Amino acid sequence: MNQTKLKLPIKLGYGSAETGITAVQLFTQIYLLKFYTEIVGLNSSLAGIALAISVIWDAISDPLMGRISDHTHSRWGRRRPYILLGGILLSIAVLLLFSPPHLTTQFGKFAYLLSVYLFVNTAMTIISVPHIALGGELSFERNERTSIFGWRLFFSNIGMLVGMIVPAAILQSLGDESNQNNIISSRIIAGEIVSFLILLSSVISFLVTRGKDNTSEKPKEALPFFSSFASVLKNKMFLVLLFAFVIAAIGRTFNSAIALYYYEYRLGLKESLVVINILLPFFLVLILSIGFWVWIAKRIGKKIPAFFGVFGLGVLTVIAYPLFPYGELRPPLIVAFVGGICAGSILIMDSLLTDVVDYDELKTGEKREGLYFGIWKMGVKFSQAFGIALTGFLLDIIGFQNGATVQSPEVGFRLAMIFGPGVGFFFILGSLLFLFFPLTDEKHIQVQRILLKRNTKRTNV
């Protein structure tokens, strides 16, 4: 087991792949549906069905990919071959997604979106699940793991900025933002940039982590997939952490989906103003806060900072957003600054999952990082689907008028209640559930000592 302190270039090289992964996610989440309905001309219901099928497959395939990488043995390691392969496939898939051929029928447009987006999500699974699992294996030392996942979150937020800002910036540079040819050109150029980014970052991650993947032991016989899957879900420590994270992730998705509605129809702020002056500072502060959370986790442990970070974000959301005055930018900017600091605590959750995997190895004798992180990502994706569906449902309930340039004051107030107490409820509930997480720092240190002794005996035999 690797207990040595990793050099900074290895952490940076490992985390860099997350830039491309997250850029693809944000690029497709924000721009894909609108591109296919308004530019390609696909019926919105058919587009929704295609996206739903792809997301469901994406969620289901995550634990399968984790299981595959757990039981891979090659000269390049267990996880690294998939990081390279997935990066190559994903770079191709993104190019195809925003460069559809001229199609005249609804069936043709639907079939193209479904097939290519399935390709995108399959490639995403191939790279992302082994990549996050590898992060838990690069070091056995607790604080090093927190640092590794801190750098992963750092590059993830850079990817968010690329996926969110680059397409809009290119479109703005082309002139008329309503011109269809300009929109098509901007999406193609942005797709090429994101494609190059995912290819470059995956190659860097593959090369820099050479010799750091677990290649010392061949995978042993293990339980069949469904039996192994069920045994993971019987791990009470994992279930508490998973449910706490998924509930908080619903709040995060809910927040993202409703944000532009809230800022435009409650506060009267234009989309470009919100992106540049609120969302961009939020992500920049989040990136800068990562070092703080890594430092405090080393000083006082992981559980307390994770709880107060998520709980504080929930309380802030509940109180602040219903009170903002119309047309003023400064109050939401201040809250975005504080919220960015609180949101940085999310990296501790990923780090805690590696501790749970250690506990599982102690009990079962099997290393199953891939399966655990696959189920983890599956839960996150289902939470995203639920958060988006909940947003659409609530918009109908509050009387939001689609296509209307002006909404009633009552609708604006209801948006504020959803964006504030509605979103904050999930953050607070997730943090309170997290209090029941039973694996303390002291217990985990004991687990690691036992594992170290066990593996030292095996090596000496």
pLDDT at 47: 79
Q: What angle do CA 149, 239, 2 make, to 5 degrees?
A: 35
- As a whole number, mean pLDDT of residues 286-307 equals 86
Quickly state the pLDDT bin for 115 (edges 50, 70, 90).
Answer: very high
Domains belonging to the chain, first-starting first, are 9-209 (1.20.1250.20), 225-461 (1.20.1250.20)
What is the per-residue pLDDT for 116? 94
Token pair in block for residue 273: 């103003």
Structure-token pair, residue 66: 């984790």
Separation between Cα atoms, residue 139 and residue 13, nearest integer Å:
15
Nearest to 370 by CA among 77, 132, 145, 141: 132
Percent of the residues in the chain that have a pLDDT greater than 90, as a whole number: 26
Nearest 5°: phi and psi at 245? -70, -40
Return the pLDDT at 215: 55
Alpha helices in 35-141 (DSSP H): 44-70, 80-97, 106-137
Mean pLDDT of 270-299: 82
Kindly report, residue by residue over 27-78, the tens digit of the pLDDT: 887 778 778 877 888 887 787 788 778 878 888 888 888 888 888 888 888 8
pLDDT of residue 222: 59
Mean pLDDT of 339-350: 83
> What is each CA distance from 181 to 35, 96, 108, 185, in whole angstroms?
12, 17, 21, 6
Q: How confident is the model at residue 119 (pLDDT cuts 50, 70, 90)?
A: very high
Determine which of 200-209, 241-250, 260-269, 313-322 has the lowest per-residue pLDDT on average: 260-269
Kindly tell me if the per-residue pLDDT of 460 is higher than 80: no
Contacts of 362 (CB under 8 A, 6+ apart): 447, 450, 451
pLDDT digits (tens, 9 = 90+) for 393-426: 777 788 877 656 778 888 889 989 998 999 899 9
- pLDDT score, position 50: 83
Q: Is the pLDDT of residue 153 over 70?
A: yes
Q: Which helix (H) or strand (E) element contains residue 244?
A: helix 236-265
Q: Which of 340, 232, 358 is nearest to 289 (CA)?
A: 340
In this prediction, residues 168-189 reach a mean pLDDT of: 84
Give pLDDT, residue 354.
83
**Predicted confidence band of residue 334 (pLDDT cuts 50, 70, 90):** very high
Q: Is the pLDDT of residue 390 over 80?
A: no
Confidence of residue 146 (pLDDT cuts 50, 70, 90): confident
**Quick one: what percent of the chain has pLDDT higher than 70?**
92
Per the prediction, the chain carries an average pLDDT of 84
Closest by CA to 138, choosing from 127, 125, 151, is 151
The model carries a pTM of 0.73
Q: How confident is the model at residue 188 (pLDDT cuts 50, 70, 90)?
A: very high
The pLDDT-based confidence of 144 (bands split at 50, 70, 90) is confident
pLDDT at 440 over 70: yes
- Asked if residue 434 lies in contact with residue 306, where contact means CB atoms within 8 angstroms, the answer is yes
Mean pLDDT of 351-367: 83
Q: Looking at residues 121-148, what average pLDDT do you find?
A: 85
Asked which of 107-121, 134-148, 280-294, 430-444 is least confident by mean pLDDT, the reply is 134-148
Distance, first Cα to last Cα, the chain: 16
Grade residue 314 by pLDDT with cuts at 50, 70 and 90. very high
